[in-house]
Amino acid sequence: MAVSGSRLLSSNRAGWTMAAPAFGLILLFIILPFTLAFGLSFTNQRLFSPNPTQWVGMANFDQLLGVSALTLEPERDDAGEIVRDDAGAPTYPRLRGYTRNNPDYPNLVGKQEWFSFQYGESRTYVLASDVVFMKALINTFIFVLVVAPLQGGIALLLALMVNQKLRGINVFRAVYFMPVVVSIVVVSLLWRFIYAGDNGLLNNVLGWVTFGAFQPVDWLGNPDTALPAIIAMSIWQAVGFHMVIWLAGLQTISPTLYEAANIEGATRFQAFRYVTWPGLRNTAVLVLIVITMQAFALFAQIDVMTKGGPLDSTQTMVFQAVERGYRKQDIAAGSVISVILFLIVLSISLIQRYLTREKT
């Protein structure tokens, strides 16, 4: 250990010199900003302000993550009967009476309803200090959970298909890889036209395929379809990149293994299950981690296509970090989101590493 340590540090001057530019840039543009963000998240730093920066401790985190529950009994009239609305559902006092200017509920000040559920006659409201952030958090997780398996799976499928010795196969490889080369901003702009509500390409195609039976959908303007629309487009955009990584993995598998499997009389599925898949193990780990990390950083598509709307259905963590830190000049708030995002991605990467570790 001591030997390798000394070799790494002293008798390897040429190596360090060559690595220096890269190390310097990483230090300057990744480690330093991150350390700064970590420190700033405990202050009230603004983008610019004549006021001095103050240490505020965990206040930013409390503000961002504060959640309370409030259980309300239904309203009753003088006879003790539950007051019901036209649809027959019991009515509850307005939350506004508890969250605003009500000294009896100091823990609810400034909170808003996030979601609520019924339990018997009473209704429990979950209130958050920062509902937009909570929605951003949930949306980001949905995005990652859908994109990681789907994008990885489709990329593998494409890789298997283009990993054949056919004439012109390079054309297909190039076509699938093309969206990766185009700037994501340009791709997002184009997809905005595809998803346009009145006579966008997608609505026209769907209308044509169904002989006009399909009712046009305002894909990006409807809270129910906006996030799925962005998910679909994001999967399409980056799938080519991961296809190439899978392809590289596929080509490291020795053809002799397939020949042996063939001689043993393996079916195509068995060849995949017992030769291809074990051979792709390390590639799979890489693809999964890269997709997860990229998916957590979802920003450009949101910024160009929906700006977090409609009704916060496409808010994401990085979009909110930029929105607050830069556009609203609140560097501290942006830093807090970045730190939380870092902790989430770090723990997920550690879990993924643990689950995909070499079992010896």
Partner 1 sequence: MERTVLTKIVDDFNASQSDWRVMIEQFPQAAYNDSVVAAALSGELPDILDVDGPIMPNWAWAGYLAPLTIDPDVLEGFLPGVIGTWNDKIYSVGFWDAALAMFARKSVLEANGIRVPTLDEPWTGEEFDEILVTLKDTGEYDYPLNIGMADKGEWYPYAFPPYLWSSGGDLVNRETYQTAEEALNSDAAIKWGEWWQSLFERDLVPGPSQRLADHQNGFAEGKYALNWTGNWLALSSLETYGDDLLFLPAPDFGEGGKIGAGSWQFAVSATSAHQDGANAFIEFALKDEYFAAFSDGIGPIPPTREAAAMSEYYAAGAPMEVFDELSERQGTLRPVTPGYVVQSLVFQKAIADIANGANVVTALDTAVDEINADIQNNAGYGHN
**Which residues make up the interface to partner 1 (CB under 8 A)?**
44, 46-51, 63, 96, 99-100, 110, 112-113, 131, 196-198, 218, 220-221, 223, 307-312, 323, 327-330
Please, which residue, 96 or 281, has the CB nearer to partner 1? 96
What minimum distance in Å lies between the beta carbon of 311 and partner 1? 5
Please, which residue, 21 or 106, has the CB nearer to partner 1? 106
Please, which residue, 110 or 149, has the CB nearer to partner 1? 110
| Backbone conformation region of residue 21, classed left if phi is above 0, alpha if psi is from -120 to 50, else beta | alpha
Long-range interactions of 289-294: CB distance < 8 A, separation 24+: 289/349, 289/352, 290/242, 290/245, 291/147, 291/148, 291/151, 291/152, 291/238, 291/242, 292/144, 292/148, 292/345, 292/348, 292/349, 292/352, 293/345, 293/349, 294/238
What minimum distance in Å lies between the beta carbon of 63 and partner 1? 8
The token pair that represents 99 in the structure block: 């969250």
What minimum distance in Å lies between the beta carbon of 67 and partner 1? 16
What minimum distance in Å lies between the beta carbon of 114 and partner 1? 11
What minimum distance in Å lies between the beta carbon of 182 and partner 1? 22
Cα–Cα distance for residue pair 136/333, rounded to 1 Å: 14
CB-count exposure of residue 34 (10 Å: 0-12, 13-18, 19+):
middle
Please, which residue, 153 or 310, has the CB nearer to partner 1? 310
Please, which residue, 109 or 169, has the CB nearer to partner 1? 109
Please, which residue, 129 or 276, has the CB nearer to partner 1? 129
Q: Which residue type is seen at 77? A: D
Cα–Cα distance for residue pair 322/341, rounded to 1 Å: 13
What minimum distance in Å lies between the beta carbon of 304 and partner 1? 11
Q: Which of 357, 355, 341, 329 shows the shortest CA–CA distance to 50?
A: 329
